[in-house]
Amino acid sequence: MAKLNFGGVEETVVTRTEFPLEKAREILKNETIAVLGYGVQGPGQSLNLRDNGFNVIVGQRPGKTYEKAVADGWIPGETLFSIEEAARQATIVMCLLSDAAVLEVWPSIKPSLTKGKALYFSHGFAIAWADRTGVVPPSDIDVIMVAPKGSGASLRSMFLENRGVNSSFAIEQDFTGHAYERTIALGIGIGSGYLFETTFRREAISDLTGERGSLMGAIQGLFQAQYEVLREHGHTPSEAFNETVEELTQSLMPLFAAKGMDWMYANCSTTAQRGALDWKDPFHDAVKPVLERLYKSVEDGTEAQISIDSNSRPDYREKLNEELRQMRESEMWQTGMTVRRLRPEND
């Protein structure tokens, strides 16, 4: 592991230079890795592992997702099985099911977690709130995590571009004495850029806070508020959307992703610079109390319980689809569909 300076704070990270793919292959050469779930993270992690030369099988229930796995080259009866059968065959069980699905299938996969196996997650939710989820692993297995800081689709696309999504890693239980080597080898195998250490609880809290905050919830709320203000003051849908979403995602985000916010500011007009510097503090002061409330709601388990209760309702999927439909059919995102079609690359 290497020690690096992050904004004046020293952290320990693992890079692909010091832990190369060949080392990861050697560590896991006798392991059978079962990826349970072929939804969000499953395809990216399993395909990257397969392409990197690891012994991988997939466990998935019948349906459209099962057919997607077949289309991706997983062979029923050879590399594609039921969730329970894949867990039984594996020495490393990668539980990449949704949080709701983990709660549902846990009683059927737990008997397959026999002595010396490893149980792997890419999210700390089930273990961090085990008192609420009921997911309590046997004491004679390794319990580990690698959590890519991006979607499964991004993990796969960046892998194909010879890049990598950064990942956190954690070891909750080291029964074999080899949990660390197994964890890092898997992190390298799935195509992580670099790996930084966390705990299941810290990952779960930061992940839920981020999803509800700047990554998804806050960004939609901010977009919607600015779009509405512009529209209510007579601006057209195209103008409101371009000034709210399109310029941020297509022009400015690549700039600060590449070299930081200060560099993006330096490459904007002096009028934009002055206004941004003047208004960043009022936005900070307005938003930080909301984020403090959000963090406390995550930390005390309220958000986890809301998710558990919501996901367990029989009509959960229908209600979710209705909420997503309303967002999709809002004027702002209908305008976005038109704007995206007009991008030059779509000519």
Q: Which residues have a catalytic role annotated?
A: 123
Q: Which amino acid is at 257?
A: A
Say how many C-beta atoms besides its own lie within 10 A of residue 21's C-beta: 15
CA distance linking residue 149 with residue 165, whole number of Å: 6
Asked if residue 96 lies in contact with residue 42, where contact means CB atoms within 8 angstroms, the answer is yes
DSSP letters for 78-129: TTEE-HHHHHHH-SEEEE-S-HHHHHHHHHHHGGG--TT-EEEESSSHHHHT
- Cα separation values, 321 from 37, 184, 316, 318, 325, Å: 20, 37, 9, 5, 6
Asked if residue 95 lies in contact with residue 102, where contact means CB atoms within 8 angstroms, the answer is yes
Residue 273: which H helix or E strand, with range?
helix 270-299
